[in-house]
Amino acid sequence: MDGVRVGKRLIGTQSPVTVGWENIPKVEGGPVKRFVFTHFQPAILIALVAFWLYAPDSIAKASTAIGIGIGFKVLLYCLEWVNPRHDSWRLTWKELVTDLFYVGISYTLVKYAGKHFGDDAMIEAVQHFFQWEKLAWFKDMPLLVQAFLISFIFDFGQYWMHRGMHNWYPLWLTHSVHHYITQLNINKGAVGNPVELFLIGLGIGGFFDFLPRAVLLAGAIGMAVGTYQHINVRFNTPRWWRFLFNTTEHHSVHHSQDFEASRSNYSGTYIFIDRMFGTCVDGEAEVLGMEGGRRMSIREQMTYPFTEAWKSTKSAVQVRFQPVAIPAE
């Protein structure tokens, strides 16, 4: 494969990657279907932002956010059914079971670990030490600006954590497992080693607890944009959206079997962070995974980072202490 030059890099030399928006297929079907799949993403984003800006306090609660999140997911399942991006990404019963297992683990055990040993515990300690109430000036900004800043700061942190995972071997060990998926569906974001889910969950969200409405609004923006990273739906995403926000197209390039392509599009919500740092590749890929698309079983996903770390450490120690003998001349 020749690949396509993007900046200094050749994308798609090992596995097919479509580069450039003009080469990506459009939604096929009648005018109603094309209308729906062109305007769905902005319409949902605007509706959610309007809700969290104007809803009375009596209904603008965390429990409502959970309800909206579940309803949104069910709606997206329907869209995946009606208008899949690739038939080879169609959800099967087995994939649903394994995906939901990871979702279940992250909603229970990983969340518990985060609460007691992760960012929640650290944030509480830091807040106590620095008296974050002094940041009250943040409260005087418009709600939408507060929410944007919260989600941007969070995503900026995630960008570097994710980029770090692709560049530093110990972190890569935990993240590599997530790259063995060969399809994208809406639950695939949760598929990975729990250690990674714990690390990626480390953020600054909890710092803004004194701004509950802004946090809920930031969460809604993250959901109405970030969810499309892992989804099997063909959209005619508007040009402005794909310039600013991460899309399935971007994230499928990131999951491609092509090594260079996988080292792009690291952000979760704001793809312009990738544009700022020169890691954005506009395009899409259907053939995903690692090692030629080998599937990793749940058992292997759980143990892989540790067994690989053990193997690498062992071989490094052997090389250090048992250098190859040089025959005497």
Partner 1 sequence: MNVPFIDRIWRVRGSLALGFRQSPADAFARLDQLFQTSGTSYQIDDDTLTFTKKDPIAQDKMATFNRGTLRVVDDTDGGLLLYDLSSPTLQFCFALPFLFLGIAWLLKESRNPAFVFAGIFATLYVVGRILEPWLIRSVFRKNLGPDHLPAGEAPQV
Binding site for partner 1 (CB under 8 A): 88, 92-98, 100-101, 103-104, 107-109, 111-112, 181-183, 289, 292-298, 300
Q: Which residues contact 107 (CB under 8 A, 6 or more apart)?
A: none
Nearest distance in Å: CB 223, partner 1: 17
CB of 95 to partner 1, least distance (A): 5
- Least distance (Å) from partner 1 to the CB of residue 112? 6
Judged by beta carbon, residue 108 or residue 318, the one nearer partner 1 is 108
**Between 96 and 317, CB nearer to partner 1:** 96
266 to 3, 85, 94, 153, 199: CA distances (angstroms): 21, 21, 28, 15, 15
Residue with smaller CB distance to partner 1, 72 or 101: 101
User: What minimum distance in Å lies between the beta carbon of 68 and partner 1?
Assistant: 16
Cβ at position 90, least distance to partner 1 in Å: 9
Beta carbon of residue 42, minimum distance to partner 1 (angstroms, whole number):
31
Between 46 and 100, CB nearer to partner 1: 100
C-beta of 30: minimal distance to partner 1 in Å?
Answer: 29
Residue 189: which residues within 8 A CB-CB, separation 6 or more?
Answer: 226, 227, 229, 230
Q: Which is nearer to partner 1, 223 or 273 (CB)?
A: 223
Residue whose CB is less far from partner 1, 16 or 164 = 16
Residue 183 or 247 with smaller CB distance to partner 1: 183
Q: Which is nearer to partner 1, 44 or 184 (CB)?
A: 184
The nearest distance, CB 313 to partner 1, in angstroms, is 26
